[in-house]
Every structure is written in C-alpha cells, then in structure tokens.
Amino acid sequence: MTEPLTHPDPLTVHVPLDGGRAYDIMIGRGLIDAAGPHMAALGARRAAIVTDENVGALYAGRLQDSLGRSGLNSGIVTVAPGEGSKSYAGYAQVCDGLLALKVERGDLVVALGGGVVGDLAGFAAATLRRGVRFVQVPTSLLAQVDSSVGGKTGINAPLGKNLIGAFHQPRLVLADTAAVDTLSEREMRAGYAEVAKYGLIADPGFFDWCEAHWRGIFSGGPERDAAVAACCRAKAAVVTRDEREDGERALLNLGHTFGHALERLTGYDAARLVHGEGVAIGMALAFRFSARLGLCAGQDAGRVANHLALAGLPTRLQAVPGGCGDADAILDAMAQDKKVRDGALTFILARGIGQSFIAPGVDRAEVAAFLRDELASDRDA
C-alpha cells in the first residue's frame, strides 16, 4: 500500500452507484460521537437505532447524544448478540420494534453493531413499509471492512446462510475505528479473515502488507484505518461494477461456499464457529483444493494457511469444535449455496495469491474426494 497511514480527518471512500444509490463510507476514530451532522445531512428528522445488547451498552447512548445535538430524535431496538438473531424470530423482533417506534418512510434506520446487526437491520429496513433508508454504523472489524458495504442484507434459514434477503444499499456508512478497541480478541481475528480475503482475491501486494502489518490492525494503530479503507475501496469497486452479483461480485465469496456450510452445520452457534472463522477455514480449503486440482502452487496454499494460523484463525475442518459432519453432510449443506447453477457447485478458486477466479460447474465427486482426504488428514494432524 502506498498511502500514508495516518490521517487527521476521516477517510472517505465513495461508492458511485447509479440511480440515487451512491453513498459515502467515512472511516476514522471518533465518528460515533460525530455522527449527528452526517446523518442530519441526509435530511431526516428521526432515526431508529438497531443494535445488540453488547454494542448498545457501549455506544448507543453516545450515538443518541450525537444525533440529539443535531436535532435528530431517536429510539432504540435491541436484539440479543450473535448469529442467532439473524433469524426469522430476530427479523420479526426488529420489524415489530421499528413499527412500535412508528418509523416512517422518511426516517432513518441506523444499524449500530457488527455484521449481524447490519444484515438484520438492513433487511428490516429493506422491507419495512416496502423500504426505509438506512445507515450503517459498523462496530466490529468484520463489519467495517466488509458487511457494512455493498447492500447485501438478510437473515439465515435453518437450511442455509443468508438465504432470505434483499439488496438494499445504505445511504451512509460511518466506520468509527476506535469502536473496534472494545472488540474481543476472537472477534478481531474473525474480522481479520475478511481483511486477508481482499489480498487473496485480487491484490497480492495487500496480502504482503497484511503479513507485515496485521498486528497493527489488531492493536488499533494507523494500520487499522488503512486496512479498513483498503478493503472498503476494493469492495466498493467490485460492487459498483456488479451490484447484484451477476458476475465478478461472486469473487467476494472466496472461502464462503465451505464456510457457510460449516456455519449451518454448527447451527449458527457462535460458541462453536463464527462467520470469520468459517471463512478462514473456507479460504484455506479453497487454496488447498486449487492446489490439488493443479491450479495453484502448493506453496501458496501453505502460505495462506500459515498466515491465517499465525493470526490465530482455524484453517482445518478438524478445528470446528464438536465437528462438522462427514463429506456428504458438508456437500449437502453446500448444495444450498446461492452460487449453485443447474444443481452444480460454483467455487471461488485461485491460481495463486491475489489470483482468484470464479469456477462454475465444479465436479461434486472431486469435492467429495477432497473433503474426505481433508477430514482424514485432519484426524492424523
């Protein structure tokens, strides 16, 4: 990366979508306390904050104070923390809560929290009164580098991850990188998996930089703001070219075909596996599968797994607490992937670090044999 690491003012990444759907992502320390004027500039007079119990206790009062200073009245809907809230029941709770607050079409729904709150509040906003504007105030590393940008909103179904949802772009993203200071070490690591993903997809220089600077991202040095900005720039560029995943946006799914299956097989239970951990295992598998197919060097697959492991992330199926079933169970779960076409799996594979590509029509038998060998080698490891 060539940009300076420190910035006196928030960095802004613009997402230049057509049709009135363009928006800014502002990145910097202290943006929650400074949120009021930015949201007031959207022309709303009232806001409804959706948050979870952990984040709400830490930041909802400060956000409400800031909005109040800019003349915005706000109410709060609070859900339980964790993936379990991204469910039919969680969706009903948020919609009913927003309706109880009498949220109108001219109001703003504000998602204050990690990716769970962002996806859930965004989906509620997409559907409440057939569409209310929403703002993302992401507080986890994962939400700042990935989920708050791009407009994928939704909930999980018992049969699979994010199977119910809508594209609904936020009007503004305010990523207060100081808020990440209170994140647990485990959730920091999980978010870091999505950071590394951007290097692995298409930017080998960024992956080199991550290998050298990942500790600064965790500790809250200037590297954190730089990494959030780099990921948001990369995601914004892809989303601008392919908003609804007709093509290249699928690259952002690197590691997710495996990862989402593991999340389903562990019952969306954060005590066992969180999204970023599933993605880390999935990316390591995608690279090892690519190497097995002769597409990429085994050295690259090793380098990916080593770096993720150094950052404290799992890279093998055996690392899933309580196990994840056999190859057939994993294949069955992957059959619900949204990239499936005519019943055939699509994977994001790699020719090397930063050289990922979309591979449709992957042979089920090849995947099954790979998974069986992975499970067997895990047992020996």
Ligand X SMILES: NC(=O)c1ccc[n+]([C@@H]2O[C@H](COP(=O)([O-])OP(=O)(O)OC[C@H]3O[C@@H](n4cnc5c(N)ncnc54)[C@H](O)[C@@H]3O)[C@@H](O)[C@H]2O)c1
Ligand Y SMILES: O=C(O)C(=O)C[C@@H](O)[C@H](O)[C@H](O)COP(=O)(O)O
282 token code pair:
């999935």
Query: Which residues does 203 contact at the CB level (< 8 Å), separation at least 6?
Result: 230, 234, 354
* C-alpha triplet 165, 170, 174: angle, nearest 5°: 130
Binding mask 238-277 for ligand X (x = CB under 6 A): ------------------------------------xxx-
- Give the residue among 112, 233, 123, 83 at the shortest CA–CA distance from 176: 112
List the catalytic residues.
Answer: 130, 152, 194, 235, 245, 249, 253, 256, 260, 275
Segment contacting ligand X (CB under 6 A): 99-107, 114-122, 211-219, 293-301? 114-122
Q: Is 259 annotated as a binding residue?
A: no
298 token code pair:
């085994």
Binding mask 171-210 for ligand X (x = CB under 6 A): --------xx-xx---x--xx-------------------
Asked if residue 313 lies in contact with residue 319, where contact means CB atoms within 8 angstroms, the answer is no
Under rule CB under 6 A, residue 150 binds ligand Y: yes
106 by Cβ neighbours in 10 Å (0-12 / 13-18 / 19+) ranks as exposed
> Cα–Cα distance between 288 and 254 in angstroms, integer?
13
Under rule CB under 6 A, residue 117 binds ligand X: yes
Closer residue to ligand X (CB): 152 or 171: 152
Query: Which residues does 2 contact at the CB level (< 8 Å), separation at least 6?
Result: none
Site for ligand Y (CB under 6 A): which residue of 52, 83, 107, 194? 194
Choose the one of ligand Y, ligand X, none that binds residue 143, judging by a C-beta under 5 to 8 angstroms depending on kind.
Answer: ligand X
Choose the one of ligand X, ligand Y, none that binds residue 182, judging by a C-beta under 5 to 8 angstroms depending on kind.
Answer: ligand X
Q: Give how many residues touch ligand X by CB under 6 A.
A: 33
- Give the residue among 65, 66, 125 at the shortest CA–CA distance from 98: 125
The CA distances from residue 78 to 98, 102, 133, in Å, are 10, 16, 19
> Cα–Cα distance between 325 and 59 in angstroms, integer?
39
Q: Is 36 annotated as a binding residue?
A: no
Binding mask 236-265 for ligand Y (x = CB under 6 A): ---------x---x--xx--x---------
Q: Is 278 annotated as a binding residue?
A: no
The residues in 48-87 that bind ligand X, with binding defined as CB under 6 A, are: 52, 54-55, 58, 81-83, 86
The site for ligand Y (CB under 6 A) is made up of 146, 150, 152, 161-162, 194, 245, 249, 252-253, 256, 338
Binding site for NAD(+): which residues?
Answer: 115-119, 139-140, 152, 161
